[in-house]
Amino acid sequence: MGLLARAIGAKPTASSRPAWITAYVAIAATIAGDTMFSGDSFRPTLAWLLWSALAIVSSAAAIWFMRGKFAVIRSMPIELNLFLGLLAASTFWSAYWLNTLIGLTTCLQAVIVALFLAATFDWRELLKIFANVIRVILIASFAIEIYAATFAHGQLGSLFNSSVQNAVLSQGNLFAGQRIQGIVANSNLLAAIALIGVIVFAVELFAKNAFAWQSISSLTLSVAAIVLSKSAGIVFASVAVLLAAVVSLFAEGKNYETRHRIYRITWVVTGVVMFFVLSFRREVFDILGKSPDMTHRTYIWKRVFSLFQQRPFEGWGFTGVWQPGVHPFENLIVINGQGYFQAHNAYLDVLLQVGLVGFVLFAILLVRTFVRLWRLAVHHSSSLYLWPLLVLVAELVRAITESRLIIESAFMILILFAVKATEPDELLEARTGQIKLEQLQEFGRTPITKAKIARR
């Protein structure tokens, strides 16, 4: 760990080394949770047990290394506390109280990991951690896809139990022109991780937080994973991320009136584009190779909304992932003989599980976190502070077609950003005399081979 510590300019103290190890294990555990639950039901395999062990170990280690830093709890914004409190309180009126308790345990792991990361690392160190974890996932994903396509000649079963239904790690589609799944065994999840990779590797390169060749090669892998996973939802999320990046860059350094004129124009243009996408959705989705109903999502949303209407204010009770065999989720959505266990829309899932009250609290949490991160990205001259904003934008748009914003790694990221964004300016890096656009122009004129890891 000494090399890693020196790479980010941190002092390689005895106490910091285990914290770094814990950070990697903690994030790996939350992403492993995404992997274990990426099927439409819990998989009764050794993989589920492995995730459980990782979750327990990482949570316990996170608590241990947070000793003396529990003051971070006071940094949790009131809307986050109220929302988490409502999730726990829903146990009392839940239609499946035992399953709500199970859902709360996975929620608790995400909270613990997020608080540990927020209390222990600054934004630059977090960028390094996320970049390295995603790098490993992408390399492992392409290694598995190459093996499946070259040597397995087709499906590659689960590493733990290939006899379990749906436990397919790879379809071996890398050279067949079909969607790849990677080590996370889910095309949409792989695309989402790759999009976050594009963001963190681009900022890593611009902020000189790693060697240039490292960031560029990782960025190339991320783009390739997005293209090969063929996720329509991530295409829209990518457009939103690009728009947010451009607007935030051009808004920096402008006076209040000019900034807000840019924002108003952006909202109008976004509204017009969304109107045309909805009006010509058949043609748009034909281009993306998808059906106009986004692979049965409109049917799923109608079924979920009809269920929400039965308990509009309090909801049915928090569960996170819908758990098979539990009323009313069992047989609620069955398409072509396959059961679905999520609303495929995080906002609709919040309405279903904790009702209108929970939805309002969740919306306030999202808006306030977005505003804090936007101000940080626009008002600070360092490109480092772009990555949390852009990752949040990606997750918010992704939440329109997937429910992962309220579970596992996406939920952990949301809590981390909500807490970290409340830090005082004194804890941020020093501002430079140039806005980011000027730094970007200067960076473009610098030979890429000279881009080294930033020394702080």
Cβ contacts of 425 within 8 Å, gap of 6 or more: none
pLDDT confidence of residue 448: 56
pLDDT confidence of residue 154: 63
Distance set, CA 51 to CA 12, 44, 156, 321, 350 (Å) = 29, 12, 20, 15, 25
Q: Nearest Cα to 420, choosing from 387, 453, 455, 394? A: 387
In the chain, what are the domain boundaries?
A: 2-450
What six digits make up the tokens of 408? 């596992």
Residue 42, CB-side half-sphere exposure with 13 Å CA sphere:
17
CA distance 306 to 445: 57
pLDDT mean for each 10 residues of the chain (456 residues): 37 58 85 67 58 83 85 92 96 93 89 92 92 92 87 62 53 78 86 95 88 91 94 91 94 90 92 85 75 78 92 93 85 80 92 96 97 93 92 95 90 95 87 79 63 48
For residues 196-231, one letter each, b for 16 or more C-beta atoms within 10 angstroms of the residue's C-beta and e for the rest, the string is bbbbbbbbbbbbbbbbbebbbebbebbbebbebbbb
CA distance 83 to 366: 11
CA distance 420 to 117: 9
H or E stretch covering 335: strand 334-335
What six digits make up the tokens of 386? 């772009």
**168-204 tens-digit pLDDT:** 677 777 777 788 888 888 888 899 999 999 999 999 9
Residue 47, CB-side half-sphere exposure with 13 Å CA sphere:
27
What six digits make up the tokens of 141? 């994903």
CA distance 4 to 17: 9
pLDDT confidence of residue 4: 36
Quickly list DSSP for 157-198.
E-SS-TTSTT-EEE---TTTTS---GGGT-HHHHHHHHHHHH
Instruction: Return the DSSP state at 42.
Output: -
pLDDT confidence of residue 43: 52
CA distance 388 to 244: 12
Q: Nearest Cα to 58, choosing from 132, 98, 115? A: 115
Alpha-carbon radius of gyration of the chain: 22
Find where tokens 């146990």 sit: 91
pLDDT confidence of residue 242: 95
Angular region, 344: left φ>0, alpha ψ -120 to 50, beta rest: left
* Phi/psi at 168 (5° precision): -110, 120
**In whole numbers, what is the pLDDT of the chain averaged over residues?**
84
What six digits make up the tokens of 118? 């927020």
Cβ contacts of 70 within 8 Å, gap of 6 or more: 119
Find where tokens 């792991």 sit: 109
Please list the helix, strand and coil fractions of the chain in percent, rounded to the nearest 5, in that order: 70, 0, 30
**156-177 tens-digit pLDDT:** 665 544 444 455 677 777 777 7
Distance set, CA 224 to CA 39, 176, 182, 228, 265 (Å) = 23, 15, 12, 6, 32
Angular region, 320: left φ>0, alpha ψ -120 to 50, beta rest: left
pLDDT confidence of residue 70: 86
What six digits make up the tokens of 287? 């281009």
CA distance 131 to 123: 12
CA distance 304 to 294: 16
CA distance 64 to 115: 12
